Every structure is written in structure tokens, then in C-alpha cells.
Structure 1
Amino acid sequence: MRAFGAFTGAVAWATRASIGLAAVLMLLAITYQVVLRYGFGDTPSWSEELAVLLFSWSVLGGLALGVHEGWHVRLTLLPDLLPARLRAWTERLTELTTAALGVFLAWSGWRFLDLTSGSTSAAIGYPIEILNALAPLCGALVALFALDRALRGPTGDIA
């Protein structure tokens, strides 16, 4: 189990790093676009499309990372009333439900990716599968991170 925890930690680190890189590149593309538009009266056709792609990963990757880090918002009124042992099981059930939703997102995202294959982006001309692959990737990461949290339990110990 420790190997699984180490694996998910490494995946979370890579996700965090890629989100940071995407955010920096997105801001550079937007800055480049604004400077050229207002400074030189020339707008590059690719910068907005690149920013949308990078923003999409920032949001979807951030969603998955939020599951790993426990950044989600939830109501704890009922679980707080339960005895500690039962509360721990409701936490695990919540994490397993989140993992199931991640699997559903990966599956439905894969189906959408299959439906849209062969298209290209309008400005840059990259295969649109790059953008649409972010949903199944996010779903797989959500499932992985939620399963890791379910196995660790609320105290963070490996079960």
C-alpha cells in the first residue's frame, strides 16, 4: 500500500508542476496577445486558443489535485454527529463515491474524445483530441486520488 501512496504522490507532484507550467504559459500567451493588440495593433490568431487549452488543463488538473489535497467543499453537519468509527467509514464511502464519479468522467470523456476525433483547432490547427483528452485524464486522476484517500482513511494512515 505504501507503494501506491508513493505513486499517487508522484502523480500529484507531476500534476501540480504541470498546472503551474500551464498557468505561466497561459499568462505569457495572454500578455503577448495584449501587448501586440494594444501596442502594435496586431492580434496573433493563436494566443487565445493556446490560453484556452492551458486554462482547461489548469481547471481540470486543479480539480483532480483538489481531490488529492482535500480542497473540496462539503457539509459535515451529519458526519460530525456520528461516532468516530462510523464517521471514518462515511469518509471512505465519500471517497469511493468520488472515485466512481472520476471513473464516470473518464469513461464519458473518452466517449466524447472518440466522437470528436479527427477535428483540428481553428487557429493553431493542433488535433482537437489534445483538448478533449483532458476530461478523461482528469477523471482518471480524480479516481486515482480518491481511491488513495479512501485507502488511507481520514487519519492519512494506509489501511
Structure 2
Amino acid sequence: MSLLDRAMEALNRAFVAAAALAVLVMLFAVLQDVVRRLLGISPSLWGLDLARYMLTWAFFLGLGPALASGHHVAVDLFERAWPGPLRRAMPVVAAVMTLAFAVLLLWFVWRLTGRTFASDPLAPTVVPVRLKWIQAVGPVGCVVFALNAAWLALRCLRGERRAAGGH
């Protein structure tokens, strides 16, 4: 295993751990509201808002590691129908297209987040939080997604098999 492979796997493990933490915070926020309702106490003002924020963070933090582990949606219905040489080229084509999508997504999310940082609005939620702190994870997650897409393309060019469950 190369240094690049070890570095990408370490980066992905860290992002999975951070996404899992965001999911735990989201679970706590929703669960405490459910318990409050069961006890006849009015729900918190912050629970649903915090869960929404953490969903955004969990999504962007998990985007790259999901690609690396083969957990994104894959269309392989026609894979066996392609002729042999074309079938062997399809993972490379798919990896390059995924990289192009990742770069495009990064560009759009970067622009959106830049505009948010420039205007500094509040999130349209009950709890007053600056929208930039919710959206700040977007470019970070997209960079890791693009790095994973490039790593995947490199692995496909080297002829390595993809992770189980993905194409």
C-alpha cells in the first residue's frame, strides 16, 4: 500500500468519525425532544435546528468516504453487456466522470459558501446562527470528495479493483 493510499484512508477515517459524531449530535437533539414530548414538556427551540445543521455536516463529511468505500449509487445493470475491452475501460471512464462532477460540485458549493460568508446572513431557523457556520463544511467536504474521486481515478488507471459495492 502506497503512502497516498494510507493518507487517503486516514483522511477518510477521520471524516467518517466526524460524520458519525454529527449523527450522534443529531440523534441526541431529536431524542431529547421526543422524551420531552413524552413527559408532557414542550419541545426545545433548538433541537430541530441543531438536527438540521448536523444533517448538513454529516452529509458533506461523509461524501468523500462514501465514494472511497463504494457506497454511492452505482449503475451496473449493463456492465456485462459491454464487449470485453470496453467493459475494462468503463471503470476509468466512470472514475473520470466522477472526478469531473466532484470538481463541478466543489466549484458551485465554493461560490455559494463564498457569497454566504460575504453577506453573513442568519440561518432561517428559530435559533439565530450565522449561515456561514452551517455551510462552511460544504467546501471542505467537496474537497475531500474531489480528492477521493481523483484517488479513485488513479486507482482505476493503475488497474486496481474498486471497493466492494461500487463502480
1:41-61 superposed Cα distances (whole Å, 9 cap, x missing partner): 222111111101111222333
TM-score by length of 2: 0.80
2:167 matched to 1:126? no
Please state whether the residue corresponding to 1:116 is helix, strand or coil. helix
Shift of 1:156: 4.2
Partner residue, 1:143:
146
2:87 matched to 1:73? no
Shift of 1:155: 2.5
Give the counterpart letter for 1:28 in structure 2. F
* Count of matched residue pairs: 156
Asked if 1 retains the 8 angstrom alpha-carbon contact of 2:13 and 2:65, the reply is no
Distance in 2, matches of 1:36 and 1:82, equals 60
Percent of aligned pairs with the same amino acid:
26
Asked if 2 retains the 8 angstrom alpha-carbon contact of 1:109 and 1:135, the reply is yes
Please state whether the residue corresponding to 2:45 is helix, strand or coil. coil
Unaligned runs of 5+ in 1: none
Unaligned runs of 5+ in 2: 163-167
Asked if 2 retains the 8 angstrom alpha-carbon contact of 1:149 and 1:156, the reply is no
Instruction: Give the stretch that moved more between structures: 116-125 or 43-52.
Output: 116-125
Alignment of 1:21-40 (within 5 A): 21-40=21-40
Shift of 1:93: 1.9
- The RMSD of aligned alpha carbons is 2.3
Distance in 1, matches of 2:6 and 2:92, equals 19
2:57 matched to 1:64? no
Asked if 1 retains the 8 angstrom alpha-carbon contact of 2:63 and 2:142, the reply is no
Distance in 2, matches of 1:82 and 1:11, equals 37
2:90 matched to 1:90? yes
Distance in 1, matches of 2:69 and 2:93, equals 17
